[in-house]
Amino acid sequence: MKSPLQKTYDVVVVGGGPAGLAAALGAGEAGAEDILIVDRETEAGGILNQCIHSGFGLHHFKEELTGPEYAERFIQSVLSRQVTILTDSYVMNIAPDLHIEVISGDYGHLEVQAKSVVLAMGCRERTRGAIRTPGFRPAGVMTAGLAQKMVNMKGLLPGRRIAILGSGDIGLIMARRLMLEGCEVVGVYELMPFSNGLTRNLVQCLDDFAIPLRLSTTVAFIHGRDRVQRLTMAPVDDQLMPILNQSWQVACDTLLLSIGLIPENELSTRLRLKMDPATGGPQVTSTLETSLPGVFACGNVLHVHDLVDFVTEEALRAGRFAAEVAQGRRRPGDNISLQTGENIASCVPHSLSPDREQVVYLRVKRPLKDCVLTIGDRYEKVFRMLIPSEMIRLTLGPEILDRYFGEHLKIEVHPGEVA
């Protein structure tokens, strides 16, 4: 088949999930004319297509949508802008001069030249190998997101009697989903002494269905030669090591893992972008540009978000800035660098410019009550409660940033009186 692609594009977006779709829209709004999205799946929309529950869009659309609805609205807007979406296609390599190699299901090997690139590859789930769970290697151990795709898109049940390790939102959502599909969910187990899911998901996914949540607990052994038969569960000590003499057995045929997400940065590392070990994503400036000029990053490949609305917001900006670069427009460089201080796990972007309002996303290292967040010595904000699973979003206007010209700023959170 003859390739539908042009030789050059203003902006090439890698990934057609929520980040890639919004980046393409942002680029179009900022005047980029030729925009290409490359996605490896059969259709754009990314993980939203399998997230059939509602809870998306309250910020961006001011109404609560399901994942597929959120995705379809964006796909429609993107297609109305004459953006080319190349599906069943995989970006093999991006050269430092932004020459891009693609393998396409329909068209074979393709090469295009981009004026700017937006990385929007998203993230993938951590698997059993990442936590080295001892035991046999039977069928029935899989990530929660894979089970979600099986159930919601392919109409397949992963098993009948399900245990879930990890209390992240995907695990909680799948606990409810599998109960509604007639499975028995024997419990959700969390290594940490606190849940990593949204409180409302603990209520509407676990409490509503009387599914127990056991904190400070892990899977110590997986039993079953061909199929999972049971698990040895154990409480963990302060060092998160299982206390085996207090273990117990749980009979089940399936173990779902919801144990964290890893930004998918193979292309970024091959490009030798400067990475942030705290986020697992590239370091970016206030225009979401990576250490290689012309290459931008947004969404879960940059840092794992908990709300798709924030992915959209970030990606719209990345797309706009990528379009500016493609059109030869350059903004002055940032002159404020951000550093993570006490109790702050991560911070994006990594530098700021006082010429416009800035959005900064932060995560704390541990749950904190009644605390004060400080940026340098001239900004503070009080929070009633901060938890690692809920990202903090700050907007900083020029009137605040102007106070900090040319400085290294440390962001810290200090707990107040312990409640």
296 closest CA partner among 326, 332, 333, 327: 326
Q: At what angle do helices 18-29 and 308-326 cross, to 10 degrees?
A: 40
Which residue in the set 99, 160, 200, 408 belongs to the binding site for another protein (CB under 8 A)? 200
Radius of gyration of the chain (CA): 22
What residues from 55 to 84 belong to the interface with another protein (CB under 8 A)?
A: 55, 58, 64-66, 68-69, 71-72
**How many helices (H) and strands (E) are present in the chain, helices listed first?**
9, 29
By CB under 8 A, tell whether 258 contacts another protein: no
Which residue in the set 43, 101, 111, 355 belongs to the binding site for another protein (CB under 8 A)? 43
CA atoms within 13 A on the CB side of 259: 22
Residue-by-residue DSSP string for 382-407: EEEEE-TTS-EEEEE-HHHHGGGTT-
For another protein (CB under 8 A), the number of binding residues is: 30
Which residue in the set 118, 121, 175, 198 belongs to the binding site for another protein (CB under 8 A)? 198
Token pair listed for 154: 């392919």
Amino acid residing at 389: S
Nearer residue to another protein within complex by CB, 204 or 216: 204
Which residue in the set 153, 241, 244, 345 belongs to the binding site for another protein (CB under 8 A)? 153
Give min distance, CB of 195 to another protein, in A.
Answer: 11
Token pair listed for 34: 């030729």
Which residue in the set 2, 132, 137, 154 belongs to the binding site for another protein (CB under 8 A)? 154
Nearer residue to another protein within complex by CB, 79 or 92: 79
Nearer residue to another protein within complex by CB, 3 or 229: 3
Site string (84-123) toward another protein, x via CB under 8 A: ----------------------------------------
Provide CB contacts within 8 A for 90, sequence distance 6+.
Answer: 38, 40, 102, 103, 104
By CB under 8 A, tell whether 381 contacts another protein: no
Which residue in the set 29, 93, 193, 203 belongs to the binding site for another protein (CB under 8 A)? 203
By CB under 8 A, tell whether 357 contacts another protein: no
User: What is the C-alpha end-to-end distance of the chain, expressed in Å?
Assistant: 66
Which residue in the set 204, 216, 229, 335 belongs to the binding site for another protein (CB under 8 A)? 204
By CB under 8 A, tell whether 206 contacts another protein: no
* 3-class SS shares of the chain: helix, strand, coil, % to 5: 25, 35, 40
User: Do residues 217 and 226 touch, judged by C-beta distance below 8 A?
Assistant: no
Which residue in the set 40, 53, 81, 124 belongs to the binding site for another protein (CB under 8 A)? 53
Which class for 259: exposed (0-12), middle (13-18), buried (19 or more C-beta within 10 A)? buried
Give min distance, CB of 105 to another protein, in A.
Answer: 12
What residues from 285 to 314 belong to the interface with another protein (CB under 8 A)?
A: 306-307
By CB under 8 A, tell whether 370 contacts another protein: no
State the CB neighbour count (10 A cutoff) for residue 416.
Answer: 13
Q: How far apart are CA 214 and CA 116, in angstroms?
A: 47
Nearer residue to another protein within complex by CB, 65 or 315: 65
What residues from 208 to 237 belong to the interface with another protein (CB under 8 A)?
A: 208
Give min distance, CB of 399 to another protein, in A.
Answer: 25
Nearer residue to another protein within complex by CB, 326 or 364: 364
By CB under 8 A, tell whether 172 contacts another protein: no
Q: How far apart are CA 91 and CA 95, in angstroms?
A: 11
Q: How far apart are CA 308 and CA 316, in angstroms?
A: 12
Q: How far apart are CA 15 and CA 22, in angstroms?
A: 11
Residues of this chain that interact with another protein (CB under 8 A) are 42-43, 49, 52-55, 58, 64-66, 68-69, 71-72, 151-155, 180, 198-200, 202-204, 208, 306-307
